[in-house]
């Protein structure tokens, strides 16, 4: 086995990378990692494992700031940057141990106190936790999705309960007939970077969190690397952009990444319209599933979303503090607390 680390995905051939990680979830793709690198929003490090010159395992990580026990416990997060997918790609216990060795080397160089494997789906979590030792397990906020086994949008509406169906129809009718709101779908991302950045800024300000506020440079990088698969949906009242959403689209999966809303125009219910138009668009594309991310569960469940559990594994470099971390995480789990 040949293990090595690097700070760019470009050290690996795109076809070889996508063969390893798959092509359905585009935030795992070579093009997404190039986008993140080019945007400058995250400094990503990689561990690659080759066997007989073939790429057989990999992990991607980046430094995150976080506090536990009122202490600054910066961590090396192993996960998809600016995403909700895992980035620990291993098929055997030996591969997992080798990847962990490379991650520990990066952790030492970066000087982080904690190593955390993020965004593991249940089947991934069940497997990986058997392969890595000394880690405390925790639950993350659930992801949300809708399986799109519908003939058309009307068929989708018929799957909702009566109250939700009437609410959707009422909002769509008002938007079209009373307010004259028009949807625009475009992959000219650079053209709309100012608008997208501004609208997302309102959401970031509302929740006092700018850690994932996509920069204008990000949209330039996204158009450069993923124009055919990335799409903006904007809703307009006359010439006023009310809301926007960004999605990544493979033939099977529509992955909705981020939204932004102008709070001056909340009466037009554009935030809800964004979801309805996104579902309609994905059904027209004959995609199999649409992901809508974390939080706002009550509304999402009303429109048919199901939850997908996500898990993590974490370990402190200091063995004494690590002993204290495990009961802390265990108590948090019993209390129902989940982490982003």
Please enumerate in sequence order all residues whose Cβ is within 8 A of that of 218, keeping only pairs 6 or more positions apart, or say none.
35, 39, 41
Mean pLDDT for all residues in the chain:
93
In order of their start, the domains of the chain are 2-142+309-334 (3.40.630.30), 149-287 (3.40.630.30)
CA atoms 94, 96, 97, 102: torsion sign: positive
Place of tokens 């002993």: 323
Please enumerate in sequence order all residues whose Cβ is within 8 A of that of 54, keeping only pairs 6 or more positions apart, or say none.
none
Predicted confidence at residue 329, as pLDDT, reads 63
Whole-model pTM over 0.85: yes
pLDDT band at 1 (very low <50, low <70, confident <90, very high): confident
Burial class (CB in 10 A: 0-12, 13-18, 19+), 126: exposed
CA geometry: angle 113, 340, 101, nearest 5 deg: 35
The 10s digit of each residue's pLDDT in 143-192 is 999 999 999 999 999 999 999 999 999 999 999 999 999 999 999 999 99
The 10s digit of each residue's pLDDT in 290-304 is 999 998 999 999 999
The 10s digit of each residue's pLDDT in 19-55 is 999 999 999 999 999 999 999 999 999 999 999 999 9
Distance CA 10, CA 41 (A): 17
Say if residue 67's pLDDT is above 60: no
Residue ranges of E strands in the chain: 2-6, 45-51, 54-64, 67-68, 71-72, 75-78, 88-89, 114-121, 136-147, 181-186, 230-237, 240-249, 253-261, 289-291, 306-316
Place of tokens 């200091």: 318
Query: In the chain, how long is the greatest CA-to-CA distance?
Result: 65
């Amino acid at each position: 086995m040949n293990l090595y680390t690097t700070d760019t995905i470009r050290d690996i051939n795109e076809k070889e990378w996508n063969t390893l990680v798959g092509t359905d979830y585009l935030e795992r793709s070579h093009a997404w990692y190039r986008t993140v690198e080019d945007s400058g929003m995250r400094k990503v490090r990689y561990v690659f494992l080759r066997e007989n010159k073939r790429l057989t395992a990999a992990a991607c990580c980046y430094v995150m700031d976080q506090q536990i026990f009122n202490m600054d416990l910066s961590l090396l997060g192993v996960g998809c940057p600016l995403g909700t997918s895992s980035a620990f790609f291993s098929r055997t216990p030996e591969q997992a141990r080798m990847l962990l060795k490379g991650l520990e080397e990066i952790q030492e160089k970066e000087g982080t106190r904690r190593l955390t494997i993020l965004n593991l789906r249940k089947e991934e979590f069940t497997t990986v936790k058997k392969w890595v030792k000394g880690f405390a397990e925790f639950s993350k906020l659930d992801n949300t999705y809708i399986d799109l086994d519908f003939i058309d949008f009307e068929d989708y509406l018929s799957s909702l309960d009566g109250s939700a169906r009437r609410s959707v129809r009422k909002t769509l009718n008002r938007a079209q007939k009373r307010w004259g709101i028009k949807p625009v779908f475009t992959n000219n991302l650079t053209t709309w970077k100012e608008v997208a950045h501004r609208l997302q800024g309102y959401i970031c300000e509302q929740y006092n969190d700018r850690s994932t506020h996509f920069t204008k440079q990000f949209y330039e990088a996204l158009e450069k690397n993923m124009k055919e698969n990335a799409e903006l949906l904007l809703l307009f009242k006359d010439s006023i952009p009310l809301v926007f959403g960004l999605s990544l689209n493979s033939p099977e999966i529509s992955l909705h990444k981020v939204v932004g809303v102008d709070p001056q125009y909340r009466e037009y219910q554009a935030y809800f319209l964004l979801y309805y138009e996104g579902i309609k668009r994905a059904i027209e594309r004959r995609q199999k599933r649409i992901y809508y991310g974390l939080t706002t569960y009550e509304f999402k469940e009303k429109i048919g979303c199901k939850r997908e559990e996500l898990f993590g594994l974490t370990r402190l470099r200091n063995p004494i503090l690590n002993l204290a971390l495990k009961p802390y995480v265990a108590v948090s789990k019993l209390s129902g607390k989940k982490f982003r």
